[in-house]
Structure 1
Amino acid sequence: MRHEADDAQAHAHHPTAGGASVGWGMAVRATLHCLTGCAIGEVLGMVIGTALGWGNAPTMVLAIVLAFFFGYSLTLYAVTRAGVALSAAIGVALAADTLSITVMELVDNGVLLLVPGAMEAHLSDGLFWGALALAFAVAFLVTTPVNRWLIGRGKGHAVVHQYHH
Structure 2
Amino acid sequence: MSVEHDHSHHEHEHHGGHAGHEHHRPGKVSWGMAASATLHCLTGCAIGEVLGMVIGTALGWGNLATIVLAVALAFVFGYTLTMRGVLRAGVGFKQALKVALAADTVSIIVMEIIDNGVMLVVPGAMEAGLASWLFWGALAFALFVAFLLTTPVNKWLIGRGAGHAVVHAYHH
Q: Shared fold (TM-score greater than 0.5)? A: yes
Count of aligned residue pairs for this structure pair: 157
Q: Which residue of 1 aligns with 2:73?
A: 66
Distance 2:76 2:159 in 1: 25
Distance 1:6 1:154 in 2: 8
How far 1:18 moved relative to its partner? 2.3
Equivalent residue runs for 1:68-147 within 5 Å: 68-147=75-154
Q: Which residue of 1 aligns with 2:33?
A: 26
**What is the TM-score with the length of structure 1 in the denominator?**
0.92
Distance 1:5 1:162 in 2: 7
- SS of the aligned residue for 1:84 comes to coil
Question: Alignment partner for residue 48 of structure 2, among 37, 41, 47?
Answer: 41
**What is the TM-score with the length of structure 2 in the denominator?**
0.88
Unaligned stretches of 5+ residues in structure 1: none
How far 1:51 moved relative to its partner? 1.7
How far 1:5 moved relative to its partner? 6.8
Distance 1:150 1:131 in 2: 28
Assess, with a 3 A threshold, how the Cα gap between structure 1 residues 109 and 5 changes in structure 2: closer, same or farther: closer
- SS of the aligned residue for 1:119 comes to coil
Assess, with a 3 A threshold, how the Cα gap between structure 1 residues 6 and 35 changes in structure 2: closer, same or farther: closer
Unaligned stretches of 5+ residues in structure 2: 1-15
Rg larger in structure:
2
- Percent of aligned positions that are identical: 68
Q: Which residue of 1 aligns with 2:57?
A: 50
How far 1:45 moved relative to its partner? 0.6
